[in-house]
Amino acid sequence: MKTEVSQKLKQRAELVMPGGVNSPVRAFNAVNEQPRFIERAKGAYIYDADGNKYTDYVCSWGPMILGHNDERIVEAVKKQLEKGMSYGASTELEVEMAELITSLVPCCEKVRMVNSGTEAVMSAVRLARGFTGRDKIVKFDGCYHGHSDMLLVKAGSGVLTQGIPGSSGVPVNCTADTLTAKYNDISSVKTLFETYPDKIACVVIEPVAGNMGVVLPKDGFLRELRELCTKYGALLIFDEVITGFRLALGGAAEKFGIKPDLATYGKIIGGGMPVGAYGGRGDIMACVAPVGNVYQAGTLSGNPVAMAAGIAQLKILKEDKSIYTRLENLGERLRNGIKKAAADNGIKIKVNGASSLSTLFFTENEVYDYETALLSNTKRYSDYFSHMLSNGNYIAPSQFEAMFVSAAHTEADIDKTVDDIRGFFEKG
């Protein structure tokens, strides 16, 4: 597999960008590999600058649920581009997007568009504090909610000491009111509420964790979390930046039958364009300026090109419910194939997944929280990554991420990928 052009591009990039990238995971440092510079994409495949073709299981980290460059979305973007790329003013497209989201997600009576998942969660937490008049927030070890200062605590690869920032440049005071609990351990949350019964503004959680690898909530965990928040007057925030409109049309809230007070979105609602959103109960959202006193603004929020792309994608998902059945089946085919390939070769691994999200953990232990995820053999994953990349499979360059399947993937794509994984297991 040729990599000369990507290598040259990396050298150029390192001269003008920190690490040669605009997001750390793209440097491939965790897998000791040469990052590929992608030139184009179509359907389930991406093509790098050296002309190599890969079956893509990153899918731009989630938004390409229909596959790359879906013609219907491309056409919607082209039509809007002819009218203008940005106005800094209100548009009908924003209204249509808000109407779509509120009609599809029961917990969202009103919604505010922003530009990224980070911005969405940051704004939702600020809103929760403004609505409740409380300062403390609860997050879970290993859950990532963007890179805002207050949430960089035990965030996936962050440090493990409560209240200590997981990044240089974050003052300790910024995280002093951030409390951490153990994912899937409701007793750890109860302890925090018993300690601070009238000081916790909100609990923010990935209902299905996707940033320590895919980790599912145990039966009853989300329901008990909902009950605790209600009991103590705190707001429950679902970070559905990854799971929203992917696990189901109504996201994890629909899949698990739990109604959060606020929810955050991104990825899919932009159809591949930069976008985010937060929404929830009408009385809570009424606290957002200009109606209320919780300030949040954005020059490019509700960008018309992003809205056009997102509306097109959401309408397709709304009108063709068979897409979710297909994603579920493809995800199961992938996970079952991996498990069988491992069992046939006496390899002990764990595979977690929900619908089109999956993670292969190189550990024989059940993975149900951050600590058990960290037991995974990252060196083994690095070897696996190199094997898969050389065989034309583009997967997450980190053990602690998800594999994404799109509706453009075929059974043949999945079977070929499973065969490549089998080949890795056969090498021992």
Question: In 257-362, which ranges are continuous DSSP H helix?
Answer: 282-285, 304-319, 322-344
Instruction: Tell me if 69 sits within 8 A of 47, measured CB to CB.
Output: no
Maximum Cα–Cα distance across the chain: 62
Q: How far is CA 375 from CA 216, 342, 361, 400, in A?
A: 17, 18, 9, 11
Q: What angle do CA 207, 214, 379 make, to 5 degrees?
A: 150
What are the φ and ψ backbone dihedral angles of 151, each rounded to 5 degrees? -110, 5
**Long-range contacts of range 361-366, CB-CB < 8 Å, 24 or more positions apart?**
361/213, 361/399, 362/399
Give burial (CB, 10 Å; 0-12/13-18/19+) of 405: buried
Burial 228-257 (b: 16+ CB within 10 A, else e): bbeebebbbbbbbbbbbbbbbbbbbbbbbe
Give the strand order in the sheet containing 393-394: 38-42, 45-48, 53-56, 393-394
**Strand pairing report for 357-361 and 403-404:** antiparallel
Contacts of 36 (CB under 8 A, 6+ apart): 3, 6, 48, 49, 50, 52, 54, 389, 394
Residues in the chain: 428
Instruction: Tell me if 402 sits within 8 A of 246, measured CB to CB.
Output: no
CA distance 418 to 95: 43
User: Helix 411-426 to helix 322-344 angle, to the nearest 10 degrees?
Assistant: 20
Other residues' Cβ atoms within 10 Å of the Cβ of residue 182 = 17
Instruction: Tell me if 376 sits within 8 A of 388, measured CB to CB.
Output: no
The catalytic site residues sit at: 144, 239, 267
Q: Which two tokens stand for residue 409?
A: 């993937």
DSSP result, 163-213? T--SSTT--HHHHTTEEEE-TT-HHHHHHHHHHSTTTEEEEEE-SSB-SSS
